[in-house]
Amino acid sequence: MTDIRQAVLEAWPEWELTAEIGQGSFSRVYRAKSKDGRETAIKAQMIPDDWEDPEILRSEGYTQEQVTEYYEHRVRDFTKEIAIMKALRDVSGIVQIEDHCVLHPEPLCWIILIRMELLDNLTKKAAINGMNEKELAQIGLDLCSALSQCHRRGIVHRDIKPENIFVDQAGHCKLGDFGSANEMNRTGTLSWKGTPNYMAPEIYRAETGGRELRRFILADIYSVGMVLYWLGNGLSLPFVRSGKQIASPQDRASAFQRRISGERLPPPNQTSPSLANVILRACAYLPEERWQSAEEMEDALKTAVSEAKTPFKRKKSRIFFLCCAAVLLLGAAILCRRQLFPPTAAPADSAADASPAPSDAPLGTELTAAPTVSDAHGVRFPQKDVINMYVYFSVNAWSGDAQDALWKAMEATPYEEKWIASSEYDVPNNPPDVVEIFFERVRCEAMGAWDISVNPWDPTQWPVADAVLFFPRENVDFSPLIEELSAAGIPAYVFSSDDPETVYREYLALFDL
C-alpha cells in the first residue's frame, strides 16, 4: 500500500488530507481537516523512499534478511524523532506532536505518520511577508530559548535551518524536524548529520577528538547564527552576491568553500551593527570564539535589541527633535542675516592672499583642507523628512569607529535616514573584474536596475536610493559610478577617509549642517 491518503484514513478515520504544504528530503507534509472542522499538519514518511529500490541493495550482495534489517533500522531512526519531540512537549519553542502511527502494510513497506500542530514555515514567511529588525531578533530569541532547554537535557538538534523552523499565529518561532537530533549516547559521541549550508565548519569536516556534546551545542549555535545571517542578508548566505537574482551552482559552491575554509564573513547587510556583531560571533569559525551557550547568545540578543538603531526605521528621541528644532532656527537666522547683509566681494589685488581654491582631487582621495562638501565636490543630499540612504562600507570602516561616527552624524540631522547597509568584499588589490561586480551590485541595489522580482524581502524590492554613501577603497576610482548615479538623479559621495571625525564632519556638510 503506497497511498498516503488511504494510510491517513486507516490511522485516523476522523482526519482527511486537504493539501500538500511541504516536502523535505525524506518526507512530505500535508494539511488535514477533521470532521468537526479542526486543522492539523500530518508528516508522512515512506520507507523505502521512492528512489531507494531494495533491488539496489540486493545487487550489492545484501540478502533478503539483511535488506529487511536495513529498512527496520531506518524505521527506528525516524521514530527516534517522535520520541525526542514527545520528550520536549513542555518546551514552548518546539513543534508539538499530537499523535503518531507506524503502518507496515507489506513486508518491505513502512509508512510513518506524525500528526502535529499546523504552523507556517519560516522560509515562506520571510519570502512573502518580510520582517523588520525587531522581528529578526525575536526569531533569534525564540530559537535560543528553545535550544537552551534542549541542551540542558542533553539533546542537540544538528540540522537547524529555515526549513526546520516554523511560525505560529502569534509570530513566535518553533523548532521542528528533529530527524537529525539525538541524545548523547553511552560512548559520549554523535555521528555527522545536518545540512551543509548551515553547518558549522568543524562538523562538516568531521574533525576527530571533538565529538563531545559541547562541540555539538556550539555547532547548534553556529547554525542559529547562520539562519539569522541569511535573514539579515536579504535571504542570501555569506559570499553569495545579493546583486544576482539566482546564484549559479559555481557561485554557491565557491561561497560555501570560502565559509567552510574560515574566510572572515562580511556583516549581514540589512542589520544594525549591534545585531550584526551578535550574529557574526555566533558564526565564528573557531568554536571557542562563539557564544558558549544558547543562554549567552539570548542575553546578547536582548542587549542588541535594546541598543540597536534599526536600519529599517530609526526612531529619534524627543530631545533629538528639540535639538533639530534649535538647529533649524539657527539655520534660519543665518539665512536671514545673509539676505540682509550680503557679503562684499574681495578686492582684486588681494587675490594672492586669498585662501586656496577647493581641491580638485579625485573622489575618494584625502582632502588637505576642510571645505564644505558642496564646495569641494558639488554634492548635496536631499533635505526631506525620510531619506533612503544606501551605505557601502569597506571592511576596515565597518570594523572600526567610522560606522559609529556615521550613526552619530545621522542622529544629528533633522531628517530620518533609512539606512540600507551593504558590506563590500575586501579583495586584495581590487582587480577590475571584482570592482565591476561591486559597481553592478550598487547599480542594482541603489538604482533599482533589476530584471525580475524574486520576493518582497529581496533587494529587488528595495526602494530606489535617495542618496548613496561610499567609504573609500584603495585603488578604486568611484568616479564612473558616481556619474552614473548622478545621471539617474541620485546624489552620491565618497568619504575622503575612514577617520571618524572626517566621516562625521563630511556627512553633516552634505546637508550644509
Going by pLDDT thresholds of 50, 70 and 90, the confidence category of residue 360 is very low
Residues of the chain above pLDDT 90, percent: 25
User: pTM for this one?
Assistant: 0.58
Nearest by Cα to 118 from 144, 96, 137: 96
Res 339: pLDDT: 47
pLDDT tens-digit map of 238-281? 988 654 445 667 778 888 999 999 999 999 988 888 999 999 99
With a CB cutoff of 8 Å and minimum separation 6, the contacts of 410 are: 314, 389, 417, 419, 507
At 462, the amino acid letter reads: W
Nearest by Cα to 469 from 451, 490, 453: 490
Domains of the chain plus CATH, in order, are 4-116 (3.30.200.20), 120-307 (1.10.510.10), 318-337+362-510 (3.40.50)
Q: 94 - beta bridge partners?
A: 175
Going by pLDDT thresholds of 50, 70 and 90, the confidence category of residue 174 is very high
Residue in this structure with the C-alpha cell 520520541, named with its chain if needed = 83
Length of the chain: 513
Q: How far apart are CA 236 and CA 223, in angstroms?
A: 14
Query: 3-state class of 44 per DSSP?
Result: strand
Going by pLDDT thresholds of 50, 70 and 90, the confidence category of residue 144 is very high
CB 95, CB 86: distance < 8 Å: no
Res 306: pLDDT: 79
Residue in this structure with the C-alpha cell 528639540, named with its chain if needed = 322
At 30, the amino acid letter reads: Y
Res 387: pLDDT: 86
Q: Where are the alpha helices (DSSP H) in 153-265?
A: 201-204, 213-232, 249-260
Please, which contacts does 407-411 make with residues 24 or more away whose CB atoms are closer than 8 Å? 407/273, 407/309, 408/504, 409/503, 409/504, 409/507, 409/508, 410/314, 410/507, 411/309, 411/316, 411/320
